[in-house]
Amino acid sequence: MSISSQECRMQAVSNDYYDFIGDLQADSSFNQLLDESFCVQRVSEQYIVIYDRAKGQNILFESPYSTIPKCYGLMDEESLNEAGIDRIRQYPGLMLTGRDVIMGIIDTGIDYRNDVFKKEDGTTRIIRIWDQEDQSGVIPSGFLFGSEYTGEQIDEALSAEDPLSVVPSMDTNGHGTAVAAIAAGSEVPEEGFSGSAPGADIAVVKLKPAKQYLRDYYLISQQADAYQENDIMLGVLYLQRLSYSLQKSLVICLAIGTGQGDHAGGSPLGVLLNEVSRQRMRCVVVGTGNEANEGRHFYGNVSLPQEYQDVEIRVGENERGFVAELWTDIPNRFGVSVLSPSGERLPQIPMGLRSVEEYEFLFEGTRLQVFYRSSERESSSALVFMRFEKPVAGIWTIRVFPVRNGTGDYHIWLPISAFLTSDTYFLQPSPDVTLTGPSGAELVISTGAYNGQTGSIYVNSGRGYNRKGAVKPELCAPGVNVLTALPGNRFARRTGTSMAAGITAGAAALMLEWYRSIRQDDTVSGVELKGYLISGARRDPDRRYPNRECGYGTLDLYRTFEALRIR
């Protein structure tokens, strides 16, 4: 029995239906769903998204970890000069602006009425908006939900008395507008502002908010902005299809992140972004997040014959709950026990292959759920997933027991700061390996942030390396007090790796324009382009490279072109 498009549209946005990410290569059973009465969205040759009627929270614990979408949160002209971008744009014979390159932004949307997204004649530079949240318009071809708006429709809206009556897509948060502006906004001389690639076409995917069942599963604060992994993956697919149909180069800028996952690029989103980065005239830029100084990562080492190692978490008042993920490389295996603030201790929780163990702390009224995964397909790693519901304030202790020895190394991550109160953190955290997913994916360009005026690293900039030891970030870009545009034709200074990602994405767009229009070469991939940016990075003679803060140095596009010229 076939399902109507309207039914699938409803399922994709309804909390009565769960979203699952299916790996066709790892589990052949997912292929059967393609011929059954399910609403299924193909993302790539490897992944599909399945919408299935809600069957209670237990089904989430019983499903493979990678099939449950992770939740992502936001990572909040001097800068362009510091990054060597202005010199390249003004260099005789180059005059690069990003022409014929699509700047793809997957974020909170865009204020298309803002002057920084218009040409000199007042028409829009935005060629498409896919608003996943808006169900009033035409669904983009090949997708199941949302509304697509073209550049022609946006121009019609701009000439209307009430633009939102024609194109009702808005950015009520402002994050997506800020990222798009610094990456590809037009020049506004009176404000001293220009985006990195002011001649690029702009395409935007406005993510719909995460479904309530996922927010409840991950115990995410109701005030936090949260977005689903599968929706981000569909945004990547949308931008890919658009660039192919228009035969233009593509830069995808991701300024969102998560504390979930293996922190080594093994998530479905990370695998997909690696695949895109291998393709010609494609580039993916991801910010490393703002978690280095937030105390949400713990690194431990405990080996037999040691009995255990204690990991202490301070939990703040009025914390709804949180999840903690312990990751290690096989053949390491660890068991856990938990001690409450009142001294109630659960014994070592037995290791099961798929079952979830549930406990109630008598005095605290806290519910703890724990499950083990002996191997995650994407990363050949072991995972212990812990879910604390209604934890009382105080010091909670996770006691980690070695069960089988490898190196004895393990990591535990709490959710990103946006998903927790500020008073929940590890008492002995590590600032390293604090980059947020998907910036741990090996082939994407991962960028941290530094202060372009002082040269100092931004204290919260997510640090590497990734959990498997790959150098992340590769670069840092200006990300402190960066001037950008906000909804309502306002300008403000923003700080965070979101700004660094936008600047780096603009630099990548200029390079793609140079390759195609001047060098007449359309074979360069995102992986090769990353290598060129690394070769031109500026390095402090007093520091060792690569390092965990800025990888191979700070972005300098002018030096990159100098290095290419020498060749």
pLDDT in tens, 442-457: 999 999 999 988 999 9
Nearest to 279 by CA among 255, 251, 301, 260: 251
93-97, 139-143, 223-227, 345-349: least confidently modelled range: 93-97
| Domain boundary assignment for the chain | 5-68, 74-288+438-566, 297-426
> Is the confidence at residue 58, as pLDDT, over 90?
no
Amino acid at 64: P
Q: 297-426 in CATH: which number?
A: 2.60.120.1290
pLDDT of residue 376: 54
pLDDT of residue 77: 47
Over residues 328-351, the mean pLDDT reads: 89
Range 120-138 burial, b when 16+ CB lie within 10 A, else e: eeeebbbbbbbbbbbbebe
Over residues 31-37, the mean pLDDT reads: 65
Helix (H, G, I), strand (E, B) or coil at 447: strand
Burial class (CB in 10 A: 0-12, 13-18, 19+), 74: buried
89, 170 contact by CB (below 8 A): no
- Identify the CATH homologous superfamily for domain 74-288+438-566: Peptidase S8/S53 domain (3.40.50.200)
Helix (H, G, I), strand (E, B) or coil at 222: coil
pLDDT of residue 78: 47
232, 207 contact by CB (below 8 A): yes
In degrees, rounded to 5, the angle at the alpha carbon of residue 548 between the alpha carbons of residues 542 and 551 is 75
CA atoms 135, 137, 139, 140: torsion sign: negative
> Is the confidence at residue 353, as pLDDT, over 60?
no
pLDDT in tens, 482-539: 999 999 999 999 999 999 999 999 999 999 999 998 888 899 999 999 999 999 999 9
Burial class (CB in 10 A: 0-12, 13-18, 19+), 188: buried
